[in-house]
């Protein structure tokens, strides 16, 4: 494998930050994006002793800002080998009929539009890299398995899955690989964001079980990116051992 630059969105927390640390340990040059400048600065200080790091304070929902950021990449960070589309969020775990429309729009704009913006801005660079280049999109088991309160979040992750599959078709012959990595329950800031800071709800979700950790998903990201060039994992669904599916819900009289 020829090492190149890894471009990670949503690098200021959770899977993105863990991925930055994992790739840095192996010396990959990093382009890290996020909306929180202070966290990006702290992460850069932490990792630049291991590798070269370029940070971009960026809201992936802004297509023009994404395009300008990519076009302004320094030459040393211009050859992208791996794109990790990690930026995303869930909001409003209440039933759909009680959710504010604004929360639906925020999830669509981030999980769908943001992912599309970044992919479009970088796809020609990945094609130029050619064999072994990778696009890894962070999906979710929610994109495959519905549950109450998932509504637009689950639908947005179903988009990630299908978009990844369709990219595979269009990129056939370029050498660029595409993977939908779909984690199950993982203990990160995810639930705090989803509940708008409700620490009690976050603690309750992870209590008395063994969820995935951000570092677990970072290892999967690194594994996918470093496979031999001729191997493409189309979709990788990862759950903790202590998570499985439930029976169908049935509405009954009485």
Residue-wise pLDDT for 199-234, tens only, equals 888 888 899 999 999 999 999 999 999 999 999 999
pLDDT digits (tens, 9 = 90+) for 131-182: 999 999 999 999 999 999 999 999 999 999 999 999 999 999 999 999 999 9
Helices 115-129 and 151-170, axial angle in degrees (round to 10): 20
15, pLDDT greater than 70: yes
pLDDT digits (tens, 9 = 90+) for 185-200: 999 887 788 888 888 8
Domain CATH number, residue 228: 3.40.50.720
Report the share of the chain in percent with pLDDT over 70: 99
DSSP state letter for 114: I
> If you write DSSP's letter for every residue of 120-164 in order, what string do you get?
HHHHHHHHHH-TT-EEEEE--GGGTS--TT-HHHHHHHHHHHHHH
Tokens 């970072």 -> residue: 218
Q: In this structure, is residue 242 part of a structural domain?
A: no
Cβ atoms of 49 and 73 within 8 Å: the answer is: no
Q: Residue 121 has which token pair?
A: 């801005």
- Residue 220 has a pLDDT of 98
- For the residues 48-70, what does the mean pLDDT come to? 97
Flag whether 176 is in a domain.
Answer: yes
Any domain includes 178: yes
In the predicted structure, residue 115 carries a pLDDT above the cut 70 = yes
The burial class, CB within 10 Å (0-12 / 13-18 / 19+), for 148 is exposed
Look at residues 173, 130, 177 and name the one whose alpha carbon lies nearest to residue 2: 130
Confidence (pLDDT) at 202: 85
User: Is the pLDDT score of 1 beyond 70?
Assistant: no
Average pLDDT over residues 232-241: 98
Is the pLDDT reported for residue 130 higher than 60? yes
Residue 244 located in a structural domain: no
Where does residue 64 fall: left (phi above 0), alpha (psi -120 to 50 degrees), or beta otherwise?
Answer: alpha
Say how far apart CA 122 and CA 9 lie, in whole Å.
12
Cα–Cα distance measured from residue 72 to residue 70, given in angstroms and rounded to the nearest whole number: 5
Predicted pLDDT at 55: 98
What's the mean pLDDT in 71-83? Answer: 97
Identify the bridge partners of residue 134 per DSSP, sorted by sequence position.
82, 177
Per-residue model confidence (pLDDT) at position 148:
95
pLDDT score, position 195: 83
CB 154 within 8 A of CB 182: no
Q: Give the other-Cβ count within 10 Å of 131's Cβ.
A: 11
C-alpha–C-alpha distance, residues 254 and 239, integer Å: 36
Enclosing domain of residue 117: 5-235
pLDDT at 3 over 80: no
Distances (CA, A) of 56 to 30, 31, 182, 251: 11, 7, 26, 49
As given in the structure block, the two tokens for residue 156 are 């947005």
Q: How many domains does the chain have?
A: 1
- Residues marked active site are found at 153
What's residue 2's pLDDT? Answer: 54
Domain membership of residue 241 (yes or no) is no
- HSE, CB side, 13 Å, CA atoms: give it for residue 24: 23
- Note the pLDDT of residue 191: 79
**Confidence label for 62 from pLDDT (cuts 50, 70 and 90):** very high
């Amino acid at each position: 494998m020829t090492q190149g630059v890894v471009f990670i969105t949503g690098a200021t927390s959770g899977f993105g930050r863990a991925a930055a640390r994992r790739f840095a340990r192996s010396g990959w040059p990093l382009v890290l994006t996020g909306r929180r400048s202070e966290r990006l600065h702290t992460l850069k200080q932490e990792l630049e002793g291991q590798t070269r790091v370029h940070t971009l304070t960026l809201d992936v929902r802004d297509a023009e800002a994404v395009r300008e950021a990519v076009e302004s990449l320094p030459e040393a960070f211009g050859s992208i080998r791996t794109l990790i589309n990690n930026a995303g969020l869930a909001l409003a775990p209440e039933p759909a009929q009680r959710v504010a429309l604004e929360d639906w729009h925020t999830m669509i704009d981030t999980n769908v539009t943001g992912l599309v913006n970044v992919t479009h801005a970088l796809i020609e660079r990945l094609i130029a890299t050619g064999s072994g280049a990778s696009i890894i999109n962070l999906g979710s088991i929610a994109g495959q398995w519905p549950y109450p309160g998932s509504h637009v979040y689950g639908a947005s992750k179903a988009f990630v899955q299908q978009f990844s599959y369709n990219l595979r078709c269009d990129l056939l012959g370029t050498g660029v690989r595409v993977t939908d990595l779909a984690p199950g329950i993982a203990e990160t800031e995810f639930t705090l964001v989803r509940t708008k800071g409700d620490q009690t709800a976050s603690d309750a979700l992870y209590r008395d079980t063994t969820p995935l950790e951000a570092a677990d998903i970072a290892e999967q990201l690194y594994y996918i990116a470093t496979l031999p060039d001729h191997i493409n994992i189309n979709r990788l669904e990862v759950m903790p051992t202590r998570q499985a599916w439930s029976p169908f819900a049935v509405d009954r009289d009485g």
